[in-house]
Amino acid sequence: MDHLNEISVEELQEALDNVDGNKPTQRLLAAIAYKNGVTQTELAEWYDTERKTIYNWLKRFDTDDPLEQTVSDAHRSGRKRKLSEKQQQAFEQTVHESPQESGIDAPAWTPALAQEYLQETYGVEYSVPSCRRLLTEAGLSFQKPRRSTAESDENEQDEFYDEIRESGGKWMPQ
């Protein structure tokens, strides 16, 4: 195999000093090991990947591009957002207010409520997990509601404390 014939180990080590990120570092280390006699099959075992992946890593070096650029992946923009930047900002402002201020009869924003709001307001469909991500991006965090002792019935408080005393202060399954 003619991979890396034109590149010295010193050049690979110099490139290793100039790259950031896990993948580029792995690719350069694999190339250095390959130049030192380690087979592609052994490299695949070391990196817990397919031999074809190692082959593709080494094949990247068959170019005239600088090594730092060769081992780095091109930027992937991903899927286009369903909401425009302006709509995203408006949504974030809305969820920082209570749902009642938007005319929704609910005590707090939930992913399902955000899903419904986005469909009705902007005509876009999001899954519940995507709505959870949007709420997180808007700076909201999930808060589990807890009943405070002050709100509970006085008889329930007494029963609870009796149960704790009887159990020796340990939580017991019912």
Q: Do 66 and 89 belong to one domain?
A: no
pLDDT at 134: 92
Give the domain-ending residue among 20, 38, 70: 70
Look at residue 121 and tell me if it is in a domain: yes
Task: Indicate whether 111 belongs to any domain.
Answer: yes
**How far, in Å, CA of 19 to CA of 13, rounded?**
10
Cα–Cα dist 132/144, whole Å:
14
Last residue of a domain, one of 46, 70, 94: 70
Q: Are residues 16 and 60 in the same domain?
A: yes
Q: Report helix, strand or coil for 104.
A: coil
Q: How many CA atoms lie within 13 A of 98 on its CB side?
A: 5
Residue 163 lies in a domain: no
Q: Is the pLDDT of residue 29 over 60?
A: yes
Asked, for residue 167, whether it belongs to a domain, the answer is no
- Return d(Cα 27, Cα 31) in angstroms, integer: 6
Give per-residue pLDDT as tens, 79-126: 888 999 999 999 999 988 888 888 888 888 888 899 999 999 999 999
pTM: 0.48
Indicate whether 47 and 24 sit together in one domain: yes
- How many of the other CB atoms lie within 10 Å of CB of 60? 17
Query: Given a cut of 80, is residue 34 above it in pLDDT?
Result: yes
118 with 66, same domain: the answer is no
Provide the number of structural domains found in the chain: 2
* pLDDT, tens digit (0-9, with 9 covering 90-100), for 140-165: 887 765 656 666 677 777 777 776 66
Is the residue at 162 inside a domain?
no
Q: Are residues 35 and 61 in the same domain?
A: yes
Check whether residue 49 and residue 89 sit in a common domain. no
Q: Are 19 and 28 in contact (CB under 8 A)?
A: yes
Domain that holds residue 130: 85-137
Domain-located, residue 4: no
Residues of the chain by 3-state class (helix, strand, coil), percent to 5: 55, 0, 45
Same domain (yes/no): 13, 38:
yes
Domain-embedded: residue 61:
yes
101 part of a folded domain:
yes
Q: What is the pLDDT of residue 174?
A: 40
Same domain, 52 and 90: no
Residue 166 CA: distances (Å) to CA of 119, 149, 159, 161: 53, 20, 10, 9
Q: What is the C-alpha to C-alpha distance for residues 27 and 158, in angstroms, rounded to an integer?
A: 65
Contact criterion met (CB below 8 Å) for 138 and 91: yes
